[in-house]
């Protein structure tokens, strides 16, 4: 069976239990997944879940929506978790979100810089969230020595930003949005995107691909997204699966 990795999901807020989600995903060919922390409760969930399930890895960080809640002690907690648990393989999701502005822009930028610095110090890749904040995101990224590397999760920005990130050695995380009828711009980015810089993700339970639009998303939907992308890029599903798996392994350096 063709094998995939879901590089971005939120197992803590799925309708199914983590065990049910993992079993269903494996039946669909999704052999590994990365579950993402975005706030204090999910830090604890991710930390415990990666220890319980061999096929699950985790990323720890504070989402820009909750940037105003990132205290010094919580930043230290992120550091400690990442240092002590080898299955926590990235810092994220972190970044800027100027669409909802749940935290003021200046506070978001401060939290972003602090967590980028942590990624540099720990030599871990970054899982980036950037929405309606291209200029500031790139400005802040370029203040740092290229942290390990990173992935621009749920990429929907311009092709100009895509080209800058790829030139920096980064990856773009593509999810169910690419299947939407109004996603022509993203589809054009994906057609252009070098296959060596593409990662598959669901961002489940959000952003279910067509034909599951309107229902909760889940890691088992990765093959649906992959099929759509393979047709866009005019390659076989197997070629896409092999290369995106190799990309994820290269970025995250999954421990055995």
Nearest in space to 151 (alpha carbons), one of 132, 174, 131, 133: 174
Q: What's the mean per-residue pLDDT of the chain?
A: 96
Count of the separate structural domains present in the chain: 1
pLDDT digits (tens, 9 = 90+) for 221-232: 999 999 999 999
Which domain CATH number covers 122?
A: 3.20.20.140
With cut-offs at 50, 70 and 90, classify the pLDDT of residue 149.
confident
CA dist., res. 104 & res. 69, Å (int): 11
Full domain range(s) for residue 203: 4-252
pLDDT digits (tens, 9 = 90+) for 13-22: 999 999 999 9
Nearest in space to 125 (alpha carbons), one of 82, 160, 162: 82
pLDDT digits (tens, 9 = 90+) for 80-132: 999 999 999 999 999 999 999 899 999 999 999 999 999 999 999 999 999 99
Task: Tell me, yes or no, if the pTM score tops 0.85.
Answer: yes
CA dist., res. 115 & res. 121, Å (int): 10
**Cβ-contact 127, 150 below 8 angstroms:** yes
Distance of CA 37 to the CA centre of its chain: 10
Nearest in space to 40 (alpha carbons), one of 12, 20, 6: 12
């Amino acid at each position: 069976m063709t094998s995939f990795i879901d590089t971005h999901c939120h197992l803590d807020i799925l309708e199914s239990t983590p065990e049910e989600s993992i079993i269903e995903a494996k039946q669909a060919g999704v052999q590994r997944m990365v579950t993402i922390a975005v706030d204090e409760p999910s830090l604890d969930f991710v930390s415990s879940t990666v220890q319980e399930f061999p096929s699950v890895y985790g990323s720890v960080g504070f989402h820009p929506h909750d940037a105003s809640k990132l205290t010094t002690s919580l930043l230290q907690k992120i550091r400690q978790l990442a240092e002590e648990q080898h299955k926590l393989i990235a810092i994220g999701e972190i970044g800027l979100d100027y669409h909802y502005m749940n935290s003021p822009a200046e506070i978001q930028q401060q939290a972003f810089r602090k967590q980028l610095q942590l990624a540099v110090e720990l030599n871990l890749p970054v899982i980036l969230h950037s929405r309606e904040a291209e200029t500031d995101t790139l400005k802040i990224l370029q203040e740092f020595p290229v942290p390990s590397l990173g992935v621009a999760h749920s990429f929907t920005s311009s092709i100009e930003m895509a080209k800058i990130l790829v030139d920096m050695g980064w990856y773009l995380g593509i999810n169910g949005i690419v299947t939407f009828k109004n996603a022509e711009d993203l589809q054009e980015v994906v057609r252009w995107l070098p296959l060596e810089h593409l990662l598959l993700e669901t961002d489940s339970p959000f952003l279910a691909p067509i034909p599951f639009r309107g229902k909760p998303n889940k890691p088992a939907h990765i093959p649906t997204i992959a099929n759509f992308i393979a047709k866009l890029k005019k390659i076989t599903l197997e070629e896409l699966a092999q290369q995106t798996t190799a990309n994820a392994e290269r970025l995250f350096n999954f421990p055995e």
